[in-house]
């Protein structure tokens, strides 16, 4: 995993980095931007398509993200039932079940539910959505990025929800050190995490990530 942050950058800048990194890697190994991976012919030519989370859920699961009852009913058809889970958590599990394996060509999935993204700035015209994307190729997530939340007041609200056990991620105590750092001042920024191992999988047409991990974890040797 490679992580990077760009001061005064945003979601669009992170998309540019992911596109450039993967497309340049594919092109540099010969054959242009088209690469055979498993049974797929994948075209990495930039720019890659941008699809919203809401549109994909509607297209492949047949439900509206904002209709929580419909999302839960559809999720139950796939055995996803948890009355204690947040609506956004159920929606995300449904998306994983119905959408991810359909994203064969390089695709940015944007505008995730804000409840899933406690460190992410909200969409200005719809605070229920976050300025976040996940990038997919061949049904695999290859990158995750967002416009960083740098407002300490809003960050405290999202942390409070996590401490209360709401959302997908929880925390045991309030991270006051992080909030204090934000109060001193953080510039607008974009943040990105990229799966380098999955890039190598694509470059080498490897079927398993275990084949490309440089230093794989070893099982403890059984004692005699």
Neighbouring-strand partners of residue 190: 6, 147
Please give the residue that has the higher pLDDT: either 217 or 212: 212
Amino acid 104: pLDDT: 97
- In this structure, the strands spanning 2-7 and 189-194 are antiparallel
DSSP, residue by residue, the chain: -EEEEEET--HHHHHHHHHHHHHHHHHHTSSTTEEEETTEEEE-PSSPPEEEHHHHHHHHH---TT-HHHHHHHHHHTT---TTS-HHHHHHHHHHHHTGGG--S-EEEEEEEGGG-TTBPEETTEEEEEEEEEEEETTEEEEEEEEBP--HHHHHHHHHHHHTT-SS---SS--HHHHHHHHH----EEEEEE-HHHHHHHHHT-S-GGGT-SS---PPPPP-
Euclidean distance between the first and final Cα of the chain, in Å? 36
pLDDT of 46 reads 94
Q: CATH class for domain 2-49+105-150+187-211?
A: alpha beta
pLDDT in tens, 40-63: 999 999 999 999 999 999 999 999
d(Cα 102, Cα 15) in Å, to the nearest integer? 20
Query: Strands 126-137, 107-113: parallel, antiparallel or unpaired by DSSP?
Result: antiparallel
Domain spans of the chain?
A: 2-49+105-150+187-211, 56-100
Longest dimension (CA), the chain: 64
Rounded Cα–Cα distance for residues 166 and 170 (Å): 7
The answer, yes or no, to whether residue 212 has pLDDT greater than 90, is no
Q: Cβ(110)–Cβ(53) under 8 Å?
A: yes
Average pLDDT, the chain: 91
pLDDT in tens, 91-132: 999 999 999 999 999 999 999 999 999 999 999 999 999 999
Distance of CA 29 to the CA centre of its chain: 27
Is the confidence at residue 86, as pLDDT, over 70? yes
pLDDT digits (tens, 9 = 90+) for 150-192: 999 999 998 888 887 665 666 678 889 999 999 999 999 999 9
């Amino acid at each position: 995993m490679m992580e990077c942050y760009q001061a005064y950058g945003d979601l669009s800048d992170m998309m540019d980095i992911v596109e450039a990194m993967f497309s340049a890697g594919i092109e540099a190994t010969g054959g242009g931007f088209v690469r055979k991976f498993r049974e797929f012919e994948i075209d990495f030519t930039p720019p890659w398509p941008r699809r919203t989370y809401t549109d994909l859920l509607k297209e492949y699961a047949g439900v509206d993200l904002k209709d929580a009852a419909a999302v839960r009913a559809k999720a139950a058809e796939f055995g996803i039932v948890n009355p204690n889970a947040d609506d956004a958590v159920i929606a995300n599990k449904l998306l994983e079940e119905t959408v991810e394996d359909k994203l064969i060509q390089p695709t940015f999935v944007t505008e995730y539910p804000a409840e899933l993204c406690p460190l992410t700035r909200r969409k200005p015209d719809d605070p229920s959505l976050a300025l976040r994307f996940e990038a997919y190729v061949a049904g695999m997530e290859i990158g995750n990025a967002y416009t960083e939340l740098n407002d300490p007041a809003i960050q405290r609200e999202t942390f409070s929800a996590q401490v209360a056990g709401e959302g997908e991620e929880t925390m045991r105590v309030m991270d006051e050190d992080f909030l204090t750092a934000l109060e001193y001042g953080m510039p607008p920024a974009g943040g990105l995490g990229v799966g380098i191992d999955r890039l190598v999988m694509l470059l080498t047409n490897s079927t398993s990530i275990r084949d490309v991990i440089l230093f794989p974890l070893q099982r403890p040797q059984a004692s005699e």
